[in-house]
Structure 1
Amino acid sequence: MSHTAANTAVPPKAILFDLDDTLWPIAPVIAAAETLLHDWLSTHAPRVARQFSIEALRRHRLDLLNEQPHYHGNLIELRRAGLLTAFAEAGEDPALVDEAVRQFLTARNRVTPYDGVLPGLAWMQQRLLVGSISNGNADLEIIGLAQHFKVSIAASEFGAAKPDTSIFLAGCEALGVAPHEAVYVGDDLYFDVTGAQDAGMRAVWMNRRGSDAHLAAGVRPDAICANFDELLLWLRAQLED
């Protein structure tokens, strides 16, 4: 069920979305992409594959991210940097890293939207300006969803990542609306909800797991929805105000 925080906001003119884990599940997609990449390494860079398991490569990336948090805004560059280090340690040709990254990205964009997402986006397009703001590497053109979004901003291209308010403000500006006229929908309390609210937007927490983590975090989303059906119900109520 959708819960709404009390506010006297104007009816929204725009809605912007996080992508991974908001419009589709990402963990199984990344797992499949990493398996495909490791298989590719076994054939084309066997010393890397022998020396580094999928888990070892993941641990290596997390260490890099802790040391250099700016990679939060460009996760594919984090993956590239991790592979370059692994190739160097294993004595493989670093010229192969670009193709390794391409292999990963191709598989990483094989996503399956959650139920209700496609008809929900179509409904919203008739009533609102629709955009996306993401810290991830999803390519809406490759996925086949670009036509649903008037504006799509990726942190890697913008130069700042959520929860920095500048990326949210840029999304509003690109759609020609003020922050208080826009709603942001995402699955992460810190990056999505807090970031959007700090920018002056309303924020909907897409909480598909039924968690009450917002209570411990002290975050008050403007609404909490378990799926797109609940999001549409909340939006209808906002648009009728």
Structure 2
Amino acid sequence: MTPPPAYARPKAILFDLDDTLWPIGPVIARAEQSLHDWLGLHAPRVARAFSIDALRQARLAMLAREPGYGLDLGALRRAGLHAAFAEAGEDGAKVEHAMSHFFAARNAVALYEDVLPALRAMGRRHLLGSVTNGNADLHAIGLAHHFGVSVAASEFGRAKPDPAIFHAACAGLGVTPAEAVYVGDDLLLDVQGAQRAGLRAVWLNRNGGAAHPGHGVLPDAICGDFHQLLAWLELDGAGVRKP
């Protein structure tokens, strides 16, 4: 009988943020509604001229014209507001106040209930870090102290699935890619991206969805929540329980 592969216990666990540590859809919906309400009070001509959806469609069109904005969605939103303010004849100096209001709401996330206990447990045995294409502020959210390194595409200049962003996080923790595991909800950006960078990767599939057959991605593990992730790590992340 062929023995199972001999993986060492991972030294580092790296995490995606949005839809891995918290659900992002409701957060963005509330933040965009809060921003539009703010516009109604402080930039009423913009609010009258642009619905939430109209602002979103304008941003998507801007992204299609200038794909570089994909590295920094905050910069995309700011540019979209500047364009809307100019078209509506509002004072562009108010855009930064609008962005501050939006980011405060965008960082008012509700963690999945299993996240904090699991981070505390993993932090006792592993180095922890994060790699994100989004613009969450871990200091504002109150999670920054859990992570030895946090790499964001907007600051790093490259986004997942580029191997460089995973390598930067590993280097920041002083580990090799082979000594790290990445955990995320997106099969292509997170799982395939991390594996191509030399890390093992866990697909955090909280909604129980099936993998698209055309993706051809085989995660090192599939976990429905952080309780299952902890159990997998207890098997050394290799399906082999330690003696």
Are the aligned partners of 1:189 and 1:214 in contact in 2 as well (CA < 8 Å)? no
TM-score normalised per structure 1: 0.94
Pairs within 5 Å for 1:53-64: 53-64=51-62
Count of aligned positions? 236
The one-letter amino acid of 1:151's match is: V
Pairs within 5 Å for 1:20-169: 20-169=18-167
Are the aligned partners of 1:10 and 1:180 in contact in 2 as well (CA < 8 Å)? no
- Give per-residue Cα distances to partners, 1:139-159, cap 9 Å, x unaligned: 111111111111111111111
Aligned residue for 1:216, secondary structure, equals coil
Moved over 4 A (4+): none
Are the aligned partners of 1:203 and 1:222 in contact in 2 as well (CA < 8 Å)? yes
- Give per-residue Cα distances to partners, 1:163-215, cap 9 Å, x unaligned: 11111000000000000100001111111111111110011111111111243
Unmatched 5+ stretches in structure 1: 1-5
Give the structure 2 partner of residue 3 of structure 1.
none
Q: 1:51: Cα distance to partner?
A: 0.6
Q: 1:68: Cα distance to partner?
A: 2.0
| Separation in structure 1 between the aligned mates of residue 184 and residue 65 of structure 2, nearest angstrom | 26
- Give per-residue Cα distances to partners, 1:18-59, cap 9 Å, x unaligned: 001000001111111101100110111111100100011111
Q: Percent identity?
A: 62
Aligned with residue 237 of structure 1, among 220, 235, 239: 235
Give the structure 1 partner of residue 186 of structure 2.
188
The one-letter amino acid of 1:118's match is: L
| Separation in structure 2 between the aligned mates of residue 119 and residue 214 of structure 1, nearest angstrom | 31
| Separation in structure 2 between the aligned mates of residue 46 and residue 81 of structure 1, nearest angstrom | 18
Structure (1/2) with the larger helix percentage: 1
| Separation in structure 2 between the aligned mates of residue 117 and residue 184 of structure 1, nearest angstrom | 15
Aligned residue for 2:235, secondary structure, equals helix
Give the structure 1 partner of residue 173 of structure 2.
175
The one-letter amino acid of 1:147's match is: H
Aligned with residue 224 of structure 1, among 207, 222, 225: 222
| Separation in structure 2 between the aligned mates of residue 39 and residue 211 of structure 1, nearest angstrom | 35
Q: 1:9: Cα distance to partner?
A: 3.0
| Separation in structure 2 between the aligned mates of residue 221 and residue 87 of structure 1, nearest angstrom | 45
The one-letter amino acid of 1:10's match is: A
Q: In angstroms, what is the RMSD of aligned CA positions? A: 1.3
| Separation in structure 2 between the aligned mates of residue 66 and residue 10 of structure 1, nearest angstrom | 44
